[in-house]
């Protein structure tokens, strides 16, 4: 079971926030925030719509995340496959129904990680396990998204970017590596839309997304993180609603205070999403504020309902 992250101080959280603010200043949203590396259509090939199933239940996904081998098995890429062999963010001319770029994220196979380190980024070790055979959800990830200073703002769904999910550590080290599963993005997009439909502020802030085993272990055993946290598998996020961008949960219930009751309201909306979309079942739990962070909700898509 995932537990709170009491040792998370504001500075690493602010790190991504500062980058986001910098982006807003230069790109005015996500439409201009595409990857600076990888392949580009160069304006030559006519845009094609990404297959509908890649857009998720929300219709708002903007990337697929797959190993080169997996990508090359797709008939869509057989004719134009060679750039996709290179791990990275690729724009092959696919678009969403709204005309936004739809990216192909070719991931670095898991085996590229040596002794807990990938290039110079330290990640640690996923629990080896016998239990992987019993629960495929805890098998080691198939690979890692290589995140660079140039591609970190790539939109992976309508409201989220790669940088939102990075582990908050090793600030100076690039490239960083990320595990991220699109069903998590899908659930967060559905949650944001459900908030909007209820007339509530709908901007979700990811306080903690992916956590490397090395980083996760820093919080285990001190009333902190679970040793098998879903955050290590790229399908969990600790989120709060932050429309006013003060890096704190908004007063969702309008009682004039920001408390765990606001997290419980967010939790209730997420619960309704799971009832409507059982395919996105997973863990869900509201957390109160501590001295290190405000109230938040843990959301994951582990495949089975979990509450604590």
Closest distance to Zn ion from the beta carbon of 283 (Å): 8
Give the per-residue contact string, 37-66, with Zn ion (x = CB under 5 A; - = no).
Answer: ------------------------------
User: 28 CB contacts (<8 Å, ≥6 apart)?
Assistant: none
Min CB(187)–Zn ion separation in Å = 13
Phi, psi for residue 161 in degrees, rounded to 5: -125, 165
Say if CB 284 and CB 236 are below 8 A apart: no
If the CB atoms of residues 39 and 285 are measured against Zn ion, the closer one turns out to be 285
Pairing of strands 204-208, 143-147: unpaired
Q: Measured between alpha carbons, how far is 98 from 216 in angstroms, rounded to an integer?
A: 38
Query: Is residue 298 near Zn ion by the rule CB under 5 A?
Result: yes
Q: Is 104 exposed, middle or buried (0-12, 13-18, 19+ CB in 10 A)?
A: buried
Gap between the Cα atoms of 188 and 21, Å rounded: 21
2 lines the binding site for Zn ion (CB under 5 A): yes
Which residue of this chain has its Cβ atom nearest to Zn ion in the complex?
Answer: 298
We find the least distance from the C-beta atom of residue 163 to Zn ion, in angstroms, to be 18
From the list 65, 216, 210, 218, the residue with the least C-alpha distance to 127 is: 216
Least distance to Zn ion, CB of residue 234, Å: 12
The pattern of x and - marking residues 157 through 196 that bind Zn ion according to CB under 5 A reads: ----------------------------------------
Of 86, 118, 107, give the one whose Cα is nearest residue 234.
107
Nearer to Zn ion, 293 or 298 (CB): 298
Helix (H, G, I), strand (E, B) or coil at 12: helix
CB closer to Zn ion out of 158 and 300? 300
> How many residues of this chain bind Zn ion (CB under 5 A)?
3
Which one of the spans 27-35, 48-56, 61-69, 236-244 is the region binding Zn ion (CB under 5 A)? 236-244
| Residue 238 lies near Zn ion (rule: CB under 5 A) | yes
In the complex with Zn ion, the residue whose CB is nearer, 194 or 306, is 306
Q: Phi and psi of 240, rounded to 5°?
A: -140, 160
Quick one: residue 20, left, alpha or beta (phi over 0 = left, psi -120 to 50 = alpha)? alpha
Residue 8 binding Zn ion, by CB under 5 A: no
Region binding Zn ion by CB under 5 A among candidate stretches 96-104, 114-122, 132-140, 233-241: 233-241
Rule CB under 5 A: is residue 235 a binding residue for Zn ion?
no
Binding site for Zn ion (CB under 5 A): 2, 238, 298
């Amino acid at each position: 079971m995932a537990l709170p992250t009491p040792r998370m101080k504001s500075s690493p959280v602010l790190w991504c926030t500062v980058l986001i603010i910098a982006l807003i200043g230069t790109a005015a949203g996500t439409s201009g925030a595409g990857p600076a590396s990888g392949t580009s259509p160069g304006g030559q090939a006519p845009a094609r719509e990404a297959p509908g199933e890649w857009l998720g239940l929300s219709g708002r996904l903007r990337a697929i995340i797959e190993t080169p081998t997996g990508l090359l098995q797709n008939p869509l890429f057989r004719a134009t496959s060679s750039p996709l062999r290179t791990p990275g963010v690729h724009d092959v001319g696919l678009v969403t129904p709204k005309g936004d770029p739809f990216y192909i994220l070719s991931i670095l196979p898991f085996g590229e990680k040596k002794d807990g380190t990938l290039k110079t980024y330290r990640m640690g070790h996923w629990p080896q396990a016998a239990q992987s055979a019993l629960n495929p959800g805890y098998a080691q990830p198939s690979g890692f998204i290589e995140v660079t200073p140039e591609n970190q703002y790539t939109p992976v769904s309508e409201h989220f970017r790669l940088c939102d999910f990075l582990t908050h550590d090793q600030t100076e080290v690039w490239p960083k590596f990320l595990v991220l599963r699109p069903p998590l993005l899908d659930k967060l997009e559905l949650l944001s839309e459900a908030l909007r439909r209820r007339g509530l502020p709908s901007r979700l802030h990811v306080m903690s997304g992916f956590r490397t085993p090395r980083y996760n272990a820093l919080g285990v055993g001190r009333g902190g993180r679970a040793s098998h946290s879903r955050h290590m598998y790229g399908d969990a996020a600790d989120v709060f609603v932050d429309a006013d961008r003060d890096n704190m949960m908004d007063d969702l219930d309008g009682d004039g205070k920001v408390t765990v009751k606001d997290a419980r309201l967010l939790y209730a909306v997420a619960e309704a999403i799971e009832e409507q979309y059982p395919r996105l079942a997973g863990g869900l739990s509201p957390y109160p504020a501590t001295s290190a962070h405000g109230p938040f909700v843990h959301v994951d898509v582990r495949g089975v309902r979990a509450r604590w």
